[in-house]
Structure 1
């Protein structure tokens, strides 16, 4: 179950999601999106670009004496760095005098945040991801309202009406979520959210068959595994999954998606009544776990699925011997990049929508959304916080958002006669992760106040959503796959999302120690304990293991939890 204590998806999902969508880093798959994790018509040079536009207002001048702040990112791992070592970071430091020493999460997130809270020793700027409510309850963040009014005119402009969505009950704003949509929303042609991923060789060898149901998916990969028990000298793994730590939602959310619902968290929302209902002990969960139980009994399930950590999971996907799995695109960007670099397109994964037999259509693509319970905040330990705000205010200008998402004109992208941004084949090939890190694109593309939607000239803000770049980035094998299914983009393979103004429901603010918070913590513990047991149980004892789980789960106050989210959704429908 995707709870407050866990997160997807953002970003995502995209991201991995954002009023415009989550996810994530440009290619996070975020990579994110990348991973994830989302762009002008006139060609302009850097000097023209640096001039103020009608929508970008200069903040008041403040002290530009050099200062370095400590920034901690619990949302993703990465190379720690001083941002002035990057090209974009150096330019921002020249304008503001501000530099950031970036630290990424190593180890367990809640433990790391817990130590901060216990000691009161906070980094200056924190992206706490799923632990944001813990820091809010500990009063670790300072209010931003007055700082934004005085030093953040561009921030106020781009966040606009969104500000009231994440204002706390005490009337203050304590953090800025990622990805407010400006101008026109641009859908993602890639899949940075949930999908069933299958090795391209499996589809290719079978003649690119139509796959709609979970039974057809497993039949296809098992047939291929029977013919190919080894891949490159390694034992073939028909199916694996991600179950580690807070990312357990990538496993527990699956029944919800198979039933034709998007990721609203641990509940399904009825489109007509807006009522919320849990699915952890539903027939959908029963049927999915039953299928995995059968796979395990026949030796087709990865035996390390419930014990490997996230890095081990990515390494396994990168090995080329996994045939299929479910996950959110923003979580697997590193593995996909590794497979691309390996140079064997047949071992790369492609996304497809899979549902239960009888489900009319899938809902894997997120509707336009704005996630209001993830973001970046300034801690009580930060000196001169107005300087951080001014730094962010420059960062959200079109000048710097173009550099963050596209790089530098003539080096990492070009502008055609119609003002459209594109990349040459050489630029696409050369824009490696190391180059994106060197320029600063990798560090700034998410987990900061960054934008979604389109620039004032119509180009998509996130370069992976720019049609000209997406099409040129397709390989021959990608085109063969898409042509086989009559699609122009990967998103074309999936059903259009239904309108859900409340989406995602899981972004509701849940106070620590509240009844919904206690329910989620206990529910997570029960699912993590019972689901693996059910899957690994002898098939003859499956129903008994299932009933033991249901008994434990129903000892929780399910009705109150469902009522909480029903109220959240109905409030958003009436007020957003």
Structure 2
């Protein structure tokens, strides 16, 4: 099968990167905001929707992730323009504290916000009957049908209903990202500059680079290495051995590309090798012990403080800190030293797989709850949001204000527009609030005229957005984009494996819960132990891990992955 057809089939039959994800610079344009010559590919509103009066309504919208301030959408430019079209405003609330506690309270009381993004607790809400079936609305509204129609079979829960609108539906062609929004080993740019821009490929090279820099700057009281462990984000720490071994983020398993056998790694030799290195880093005073007690906001604040030399994480997850650092560097070039640079580190410098291939994630998304006052009005809003004009608005903004269109119909941003779209502008305009957590074209989508949905993925915008310092460090490494530093992703039609759903109470879900409990208990012990005690702690961990039905978990995953492969034949 030709690669183009494989990827095209992939976008419809299979998996799309999340994260996840995760977020990128987004925004769009509707006719009232500043028109383009594009027609809405998604079709037109139904006659019933077009005739519906625009009486004002406010609905509650809870997002099970932190990092943003609670706000009404109509207090942003994008949200106000959408309210003008639909009469609908959303009162946005973001997670404070523990996700499972918050969702558990909703389930116990059977009282939910109108709209809910439960993130990692999605299966718990579905199992509790907290969401309504969205199937009739997808059939009713043209834009919903256009965006989600090709994915309906994958979106169905075990009972045949559809409870979630996923964030990973690629519309049009798949557009790769020139930035690093997935995993990487990050280091302050000044570290590379001072070292003469070395090629850092191995785990030992990476930590030696950090160790040498910290030793040369004792007066700065630097943190050599920081790690994120808060709540469900613990994967930013526990995933590190998987990536060092040369695998992408498939969750709890490593999938052999020849046999498609799935094997866990939480207690294998890769994890032991990584944990022993982290133990060594800690013994040298380079590891921030508060990594195991800091919450997400404290972590982001530390990354923005200029004191943290290096860390591993996913680009989408550190975006707030990195944008603040970049904003400062645009105003003062000397601040570029503190911007983080991504490195494709593996154990021994072999082929990396940090860049996600195209995929489809069905267990992350947004649902309308059983507490919703007017589900039809909410779904009508979602349909309006999913018109191509409004997807341009939430990604690009307003023509003449935040982007331009050249004689060939190509979208671009002027240098002045790029400079003004800092973090404060993104928040007030609404780019920050509409960049994720909504029914949307996936970040890697393209528009009907061939433009990238996301400005950050438009080649012209990416190059325009580079500062002189960006170009200098990229040139030192012989590349024009950050993604060129990393190996191209291998095609994985099941990707991501963690997106394969598991029923609540199933052996697979129980295994993951117990495994998470063990890793959260023993990874801190392994890293913080006296070096002479490491082996004893590791053996204790293996003993506890051996009580899990890991063979059954691996067998189930292998069957699921092979079923996906077979479905494409």
TM-score grouping bracket, smaller chain normalisation: over 0.9
- State the SS of the aligned residue for 2:564: helix
Match of 2:498 in 1: 506
The count of corresponding residues between Structure 1 and Structure 2 is: 545
- Asked if 2 retains the 8 angstrom alpha-carbon contact of 1:50 and 1:399, the reply is no
Alignment match of 1:61 (pick from 27, 31, 48): 48
Match of 2:363 in 1: 373
Alignment of 1:438-517 (within 5 A): 438-452=428-442, 453-517=445-509
Cα distance 1:50–1:110, how it changes in 2: closer, same or farther (>3 A)?
A: farther
The CA deviation string for residues 440-469 of structure 1, in whole angstroms up to 9 with x for no partner, is 222112111110310011110011111111
Provide the rounded CA distance (Å) in 2 between the counterparts of 1:360 and 1:47. 48
- Asked if 2 retains the 8 angstrom alpha-carbon contact of 1:225 and 1:236, the reply is yes
Matched, 1:200 2:198: no
Alignment match of 1:186 (pick from 175, 187, 200): 175
- State the SS of the aligned residue for 1:442: helix
Match of 1:13 in 2: none
Match of 2:390 in 1: 400
- State the SS of the aligned residue for 2:293: coil
Residue 173 of structure 1, CA deviation: 0.7
Provide the rounded CA distance (Å) in 2 between the counterparts of 1:274 and 1:335. 37
Alignment match of 2:79 (pick from 84, 89, 98): 89
Match of 1:169 in 2: 158
Match of 1:303 in 2: 289
Q: Relative to structure 2, which stretch is displaced further, 59-68 or 491-500? A: 59-68
Match of 1:321 in 2: 307
Matched, 1:569 2:561: yes
Match of 1:77 in 2: 67
Alignment match of 1:536 (pick from 525, 528, 534): 528
Match of 2:511 in 1: 519
Provide the rounded CA distance (Å) in 2 between the counterparts of 1:348 and 1:71. 33
Residue 52 of structure 1, CA deviation: 5.3
- Asked if 1 retains the 8 angstrom alpha-carbon contact of 2:34 and 2:398, the reply is no
Match of 2:125 in 1: 135
Matched, 1:277 2:269: no
Alignment of 1:15-414 (within 5 A): 20-23=16-19, 32-34=23-25, 49=36, 53=40, 55-62=42-49, 63-64=52-53, 65-150=55-140, 152-231=141-220, 235-343=221-329, 344-357=335-348, 360-414=350-404
Q: Relative to structure 2, which stretch is displaced further, 487-496 or 96-105? A: 96-105
Residue 48 of structure 1, CA deviation: 5.6
- Asked if 1 retains the 8 angstrom alpha-carbon contact of 2:508 and 2:553, the reply is yes
Alignment match of 1:548 (pick from 533, 540, 552): 540
Residue 550 of structure 1, CA deviation: 0.7
Unmatched runs of 5 consecutive residues or more in structure 2: 1-13, 330-334
Residue 19 of structure 1, CA deviation: 5.5
TM-score (norm 2): 0.92
- Asked if 1 retains the 8 angstrom alpha-carbon contact of 2:39 and 2:388, the reply is no
Provide the rounded CA distance (Å) in 2 between the counterparts of 1:374 and 1:60. 31
Q: In angstroms, what is the RMSD of aligned CA positions?
A: 2.0
Cα distance 1:78–1:457, how it changes in 2: closer, same or farther (>3 A)?
A: same
Match of 2:3 in 1: none
- Asked if 1 retains the 8 angstrom alpha-carbon contact of 2:327 and 2:422, the reply is no
* TM superposition outliers: structure 1 runs of 4+ over 4 Å: 43-52
- Asked if 2 retains the 8 angstrom alpha-carbon contact of 1:59 and 1:390, the reply is no
The CA deviation string for residues 389-443 of structure 1, in whole angstroms up to 9 with x for no partner, is 1111111111101110011011011111221111111111111223223222221
Residue 105 of structure 1, CA deviation: 1.1
Provide the rounded CA distance (Å) in 1 between the counterparts of 2:38 and 2:338. 47
Q: Relative to structure 2, which stretch is displaced further, 215-224 or 81-90? A: 81-90
Residue 506 of structure 1, CA deviation: 0.3
Provide the rounded CA distance (Å) in 1 between the counterparts of 2:505 and 2:37. 48
TM-score (norm 1): 0.91
Unmatched runs of 5 consecutive residues or more in structure 1: 1-17
- State the SS of the aligned residue for 2:323: helix
Residue 360 of structure 1, CA deviation: 2.9
- State the SS of the aligned residue for 1:325: strand
The CA deviation string for residues 215-237 of structure 1, in whole angstroms up to 9 with x for no partner, is 11111111111111233xxx011
Provide the rounded CA distance (Å) in 2 between the counterparts of 1:356 and 1:157. 44
- Asked if 2 retains the 8 angstrom alpha-carbon contact of 1:24 and 1:446, the reply is no
Provide the rounded CA distance (Å) in 1 between the counterparts of 2:195 and 2:34. 55
Cα distance 1:55–1:338, how it changes in 2: closer, same or farther (>3 A)?
A: closer
- State the SS of the aligned residue for 1:207: coil
Cα distance 1:316–1:485, how it changes in 2: closer, same or farther (>3 A)?
A: same
Provide the rounded CA distance (Å) in 2 between the counterparts of 1:51 and 1:533. 57
